Amino acid sequence: MTRHLSGNSIKNLQKIGPYLREDWHLVLGALLSLIIAALCVLAIGSGVRFLVDNGLSTQNETVMDKALLVLFCIITALALASFLRSTCVSLLGERVIMKFRQGVYNNLLNLDPGFYEQNNTGEIISRLTSDTTLVQSVISSTLPMAMRNSILLLGGIAMLLITSPKLTLMVILVVPVILLPIVLMGRRVRRLSKDSRDSVGEIGAYVDETLHGIQTIQSFVKEDFVSSRYKEKTYAAYKTASQHIMNRSFMAAAVIFIVFSCVGIVLWIGGHDVIAGRMTPGALTSFVFYAVLVASSAGTLSEVYGSLNQASGAADRLISLLNEQSHSPLLVERHQAAVIPIFETLSFENIKFSYPKKPDIYALNDINFTINRGETVAFVGPSGSGKTTLVKLMLRFYEPQDGIITLDDTNVKSLDIKPYRSLFSVVPQDTVIFSDTIRNNILLAKPDASEDEVIWVTKMANAYEFIEELPDGIDTLVGEGGSRLSGGQKQRISIARALLNNPAFLLLDEATSSLDSISEKAVQDMIQNKTQDQTKIIIAHRLSTVMIADTIYVMDKGRIVNFGNHQELLKTTPLYKNLIESQVIGGAKASAIH
């Protein structure tokens, strides 16, 4: 990710606060149950002391029976508190992550194309899945563990002071020794953990790219090559994970060795005090219980610190994704006017534009034209001449660096962007078909459309007949990316979808490149069937489609070199004549103008 990587700081977890406050009742339930459970554990130590000193030492069976009854009560309270804690924190984690996922995804849908040019989509998907899982884990497990062990640590130290101040001083002196290997090795363990997550993210991005391009890979017979690269990436991830595991395991082993060595020393000193009568056996047993509790709590807290750091980084990345729109310099939403419902012209006036990655190279330079309502206009030119960039600016995926785009005399920047875009329907060259039914793919443009409207647009796009021949008709599942359909069938569905909401502007970007002659003729008839309000904008279509345009703009190297109708341009514009001749000579009418 290039626009929002932040360092890990536990302070970043404060950003989760607003999400937690929305479910305050679950937070309160979790806190109360944590406190009750911690107090129950602390009470067990006092119960053990009472049992040893008043039951075992005096061999008093009545006291032992009462102690067992009290112990069962404490255990019951501990079990109930643990049930409540587990339920509250698990539900809290699920609810927070649900809100995170919804918020981040909704924001991703509204980010400008520049964001996706500068960020890997596969990595974004990985962050949305792995980072949300990590945040969920910290809410439902790590954070409650930290709070529980903090209470046990403080409560255990208090009980140690009550039981034996002398031995307590020893334990307090030992705690820094326990923390030493954690501090020394913890930073390396956290770094390796981050590296391991990053390498997993890279694997996810690579899988996403290769599976989306599986037909290209198979057509070049490069399955083995791609597989070998995947093996390299997974092995690199394995090596990083192995280093992380080894360092973490060594740190845990060092802590265990130090903790239990210290327990042994405390037992040795306490045992001498019991023999000398300076301490009761129950007090020593209780002290050892609390000492182990304090040491294990300190060790757990140190491990939790590393997990909190990881989760903090994940939360920060998710919050950054959630707030990304506010950092985008390309399209800044303001309190904008509603789109005017009726207009006569769409104009580009002195437009200059360069993409964010190539700020010194103009993709469009000094572009001027006006399209009247109801007109059919075509833009032709060689590859890279700026035709598709024009479409992106019309849709305000980008804003020009210089010049203005207007509807009549209104600068489109002053119009609310979503109602403005709803004036357009686009049929792209690279048809986008979702893994759903044909019906739902068409209804994307107008979810509340009637059955008659859907049938009408399928007939207009010459898609009705092939749809009727499918086993489930219009409710046939098309597979991922429309894999069960041919290229021409996908384009016809795309055209039907574009027609469904009866747009003011119909943008056809190489829309007939995969169509047979019959389907192409149907699209031409649809284009020529002009209405008073609908404007057709054609990008670099076949000769037969371009010829029917009222005005043809010839583009080259980001500029409009000439415009006119087909016959005029053949006489006055060598570039246009060359494009037409190359199409005819190549066999032509089936070839696209590039």
SS3 call for 402: strand
CA atoms within 13 A on the CB side of 13: 17
CATH topology of domain 343-423+506-517+534-594: Rossmann fold (3.40.50)
What does CATH list as the number for 430-502?
3.40.50.300
pLDDT average, residue stretch 403-422: 87
Q: What pLDDT is stored for residue 257 in this prediction?
A: 80
Same fold, 10-327 and 430-502: no
Distance spanning both ends of the chain, measured CA to CA? 34
DSSP states of 522-551 as a string?
HHHHHHHS--SS-EEEEES--HHHHTT-SE
Q: Say if residue 427's pLDDT is above 50.
A: yes
Asked if the model's pLDDT at residue 573 lies above 70, the reply is yes
Average of per-residue pLDDT across 287-304: 77
User: By percentage, how much of the chain surpasses pLDDT 70?
Assistant: 81
How do the domains of the chain map onto residue ranges?
10-327, 343-423+506-517+534-594, 430-502
CATH class of 10-327: mainly alpha
More confident residue, 40 or 336: 40
Q: Cα(501)–Cα(557) distance, rounded to whole angstroms?
A: 34
- Strand, coil or helix: 408: coil
Radius of gyration of the chain (CA): 35
CA distance 139 to 100: 13
Strands (DSSP E) found in 249-401? 345-353, 364-372, 376-380
Q: Residues, the chain, total?
A: 594
Query: What is the per-residue pLDDT across 87-114, written as a single tens digit (0 to 9) for each?
Result: 888 888 888 878 877 877 887 877 777 6
Residue 350, pLDDT score:
93
Would you tell me how many other CB atoms lie within 10 Å of the CB of residue 260? 12
Q: Which two tokens stand for residue 143?
A: 């954070």
* DSSP character at residue 340: P
Residue type, 320: S
3-state secondary structure 486-510: CHHHHHHHHHHHHHHCCCCEEEEEC
pLDDT of residue 587: 45
Q: What is the pLDDT of residue 313?
A: 66
Contact partners, residue 115, CB within 8 Å, separation at least 6: 3, 324, 328
Q: Give residue-wise pLDDT tens across range 521-563.
A: 666 666 666 555 688 898 865 666 788 788 999 999 999 999 9
Amino acid at site 26? L
The Cα–Cα gap between 487 and 516 comes to 10
For the ranges 173-177, 289-293, 375-379, which has the lowest average pLDDT?
A: 173-177
**Interior/surface letters 221-236, b for 16+ CB within 10 angstroms, e for the rest:** eeeeebeeeeeebbee
pLDDT in tens, 328-356: 444 544 545 555 656 788 999 999 999 87
> Token digits for 578?
């060359």
CA gap 141, 133 in Å, rounded:
12
Percent of all residues in the chain with a pLDDT value above 90, rounded to a whole number: 10
Across 170-189, average pLDDT:
72
Please say if the pLDDT value at position 515 is more than 70.
no
**Least confidently predicted of 262-271, 457-466, 577-586:** 577-586
pTM of whole model > 0.75?
A: no
User: What's the pLDDT score for residue 4?
Assistant: 42
